[in-house]
Each structure stands twice: as structure tokens, then as C-alpha cells.
Amino acid sequence: MNAHVFSDFALGQLRAAKAAMVEDDEINKILEAQDEVLARYSPAFQPGQIETIEEDVLRSFLYIENNHHWSGLNRQVNRVCADMTATRAALSDLVDESRPIAERMQAATDIKGMGKGIITAILHVAYPGKYGVWNNTSNDGLVELGLFPEAERGASFGERYSAVNEVLVALAHALDLDLWTLDAVWWFLNAEEEDEGTEQPLPPVPEGSPAAPNVKTTRFALERHLHDYMFDNWNALDLAEDWDLYTRDGEPEAGYEFRTPIGRIDLLARHKRDRRWLVIELKREKSSDAVVGQVLRYIGWVQRHLVENGETVEGLVVATEGDPQLHYALDVVPSVSFKSYEVEFRLKAGPSFSEFAKP
């Protein structure tokens, strides 16, 4: 792919980020760590070496304290290392340059916990000039700038990555960057976007007003963490009796903040027995009108791009409580339901000193 394929807007945004990020201390730490990380891990990830890689070497790489670039990889460390014989064999296939990249990634995706972020980070460190990193951050950046390559429905993870990597390599060439630095550009753009979207503080309480618990602030704090709680504890929820969070090759966490060109679906699930999809949205601080519109928009996207062979799509709004606007809207949209949640917090007597001191 040549640079002329990219829009002036996309290249302009990336060039501006490239120029601005040199003033960012966190970015500079990432860039300065490149030689150290490659020197430490690249030899271990080469053919002839990765077949016998020590578990502690692989484990250490998955922590940001050691890779100095990618946070969150360690969330899956125990699953990835649970069967090191299978993991070594899969990684051996991954770095085997005698086969096209699209054909040699399946074994890695079969390892539980081995998602696209881990797979492509290892591949990049093994061959830093040839393979870019495809994770949620770079994925979002490509989508935001209209650069994400469309893949045929049913394409394998390897086929999808091959198309993404072509774009990443071409972008690095167009911007005169190495692929490690290009990955830092995505991180910088994502950090800027999060800063711009930072929630504004609530207005101060006027002097003389009676002191009262800030219910709105407390509720928002709970809803902000509810998303992660539902994902991390899915199997403990009633929903898990009928629904599985969506996964696909190389993306075991695909159902969490499922990326689409029109936004992120909070949670995406598929029915365990029936041919049904479920779009789950948390109301958070959004208005009822906004959250209903958002759910319907995502249902439409899933129907157009994911549904096959008569499958259906429905929606679920989750919030602390309903309101008239929400219930009137859902009354005429039977495909979208509503569930409230509650959080119990209580204190109980702790063990006595004698109980605590028991061996």
C-alpha cells in the first residue's frame, strides 16, 4: 500500500501527533525503552529459541514494567502460561517466516487468553521492522481516522491482521517512523482523546446549603465501575445462564467495548442456544433518549454487519433505576429491555484478636 492511499486529513492528524508527542514525558519513556526491550526479548522470540522459551521470560514480557509500552497484557498471563507446551508450539508457528502471516496465527488464537494485543506485540518484538501492533488502541486510531481495512465476513484473525499490518507498515513509511514509534503515536492520540472527554466537575454546593450525600456523584462512580465488574464477573451474573460474551479469533475479550465505526458497544453477547445477539449499554450519566438511540444504532450496526442466517438482535439497558422517559421509549421498542442493579455495602464485625491470631 502506498502513502497516496491515505487521506490528507489522516496523515495530517498523524503528523501533528508525531510533532506534538515529543513534548510528552510518558511518550519519551516509551521511545527511549525501545532498544532495551528489543535487546532483552527479541532474541528469545526468534525461531529456534521461542520453542524452549522459559515461562518466567514470557510472563515478564507481559508486564508493562518490563515491556515499557503495553499495559494490560498481564491480565491474561496465567491463562497464557497455563499450558506452556501448547503455548511454545503456538508461538513457534507464529514466528515461522517460511509461511505467510495470515496462515500461521491460528494456533496462537487457540491459546486461551492469547488475544491480538499479546500476539502482535510478540510478533513486533520478534521482527520490529516488519510487523506492527494491533491492539484496541491502534484499532481505535485506525477507525477514527478512516484507515481501518474492511475484511470479508468470516475472515480469519490472520487474514484480518495481515490487512491491518499492511496499513501500519505503509503508515510508518509515509510518516518516516519505525513501527514501535507509530504504536506510541496511537497511544498519544488516545490519551489526547481521553483528556478531551474528561467529565466536567459538578458545580459547587452554594454556601449555607444543608450538607447531604452527593447521590449523583456516588451513583456515577458506581456506574463507571459497573462496566468492568460485569465483564470480570460475567459468569456470576444471571445473564450468564443464557448468554456468553462475544469472542472471536485472536480477540477473547471482543465483547468488551466492542469496537464499531459508530462507537463502542459496552458489552456484546450471543445466546448459548438460540441464534440471538444482545447489545448491552450502561445508562451512566446519559439521558434516557440518548441511551435508547445509542442501543438502537448499535442494534442496526450488528444486524447489518454481524448477523447471519436468520439471527436476531436485541438490546438491554442497565441502570440504577428507570425513569418515565426510558420506560415510555422502551414500551414501543420490544426488542430492547431494561434491568436495574443494586450494590450492597455493609460492615460486619471483624475477627477478634484471638481468632485472628489462630494458626
- Tell me if 300 is assigned to some domain: yes
What's the burial of 164, exposed, middle or buried (CB within 10 Å: 0-12/13-18/19+)? buried
What was the pLDDT predicted at 150?
84
Residue the block writes with cell 506485540: 121
Query: What digits encode the pLDDT tens for the residues 109-146?
Result: 999 889 999 999 999 999 999 999 999 899 989 988 99
For the record, the C-alpha cell of 117 comes out as 494485543
DSSP 3-state assignment of 312?
strand
Query: Do 26 and 165 have their domain in common?
Result: yes
State whether 173 and 228 are in the same domain. no
**156 with 225, same domain?**
no
CATH number at residue 249: 3.40.1350.10
Are the C-beta atoms of residues 296 and 336 closer than 8 Å to each other? Answer: yes
207, part of any domain: no
Cell of residue 77, nine digits: 498471563
Asked whether 134 and 124 are in contact (CB, 8 A), the reply is: no
Question: Do 8 and 101 lie in a common domain?
Answer: yes
Residue 336 lies inside a defined structural domain of this protein: yes
pLDDT at 64: 94
Give me the pLDDT at residue 350, please. 62
Q: Are residues 244 and 166 in the same domain?
A: no
CA pair distance 117, 109, nearest whole angstrom: 11
Residues 173 and 270 in one domain: no
Whether residue 163 is found in the same domain as residue 82: yes
CA distance 138 to 151: 17
pLDDT of residue 172: 96
Of 133, 200, 129, 123, nearest to 165 by C-alpha is 133
Helix (H) or strand (E) holding 336, with range, is: strand 336-340
Give the CA angle between residues 170, 74, 79 to the nearest 5°: 105
Q: Is 291 exposed, middle or buried (0-12, 13-18, 19+ CB in 10 A)?
A: buried
Residue 56 belongs to a domain: yes
Of the candidates 70, 66, 62, 112, the one whose C-alpha atom is nearest the C-alpha of residue 87 is 112
Spell out the per-residue pLDDT of the chain, length 359, in tens: 444 479 999 999 999 999 999 999 999 999 999 999 999 999 999 999 999 999 999 999 999 999 999 988 998 899 999 999 999 999 999 999 999 999 999 999 999 889 999 999 999 999 999 999 999 899 989 988 999 998 887 788 999 999 999 999 999 999 999 999 999 999 998 876 554 443 434 344 344 444 444 444 444 455 567 888 888 889 888 999 999 999 887 777 888 889 888 888 999 999 999 999 999 998 876 778 888 899 999 999 999 999 988 899 999 998 877 778 888 888 888 889 888 876 666 666 666 666 555 55
| Inside any domain, residue 206 | no
Answer positive or negative: Cα dihedral of 318, 319, 325, 331: positive
For residue 283 the three cell numbers come to 445508562
| The pLDDT value given to residue 290 | 84
Question: What's the angle, vertex CA 306, arms to CA 288 and CA 314, rounded to 5?
Answer: 35
Give the pLDDT confidence score for residue 208 in this predicted structure: 45
DSSP state for residue 61 in the 8-state scheme: H
Same domain for 38 and 170, yes or no, is yes
pLDDT at 348: 67
Question: For the chain, how many structural domains are there in total?
Answer: 2
Enumerate residues 6+ apart whose C-beta is below 8 A from 119: 94, 105, 108, 109, 161, 250
- Residue 354 and residue 358: Cα distance in Å, rounded? 6
Q: Which of 190, 79, 198, 200 is nearest to 145 (CA)?
A: 190
Going by C-alpha positions, the residue among 301, 234, 298, 304 that lies closest to residue 272 is: 234
Residue 231 domain-assigned (yes or no): yes
Q: In this structure, are residues 280 and 267 in contact, taking their beta carbons and an 8 Å threshold?
A: yes
Predicted local distance difference test score (pLDDT) of residue 205: 39
Q: Are residues 144 and 185 in the same domain?
A: yes
Domain identity same for 229 and 130: no
- Do 96 and 188 lie in one domain? The reply is yes
pTM of the model: 0.71
Residue 185 lies in a domain: yes
The domain of 156 spans 3-194
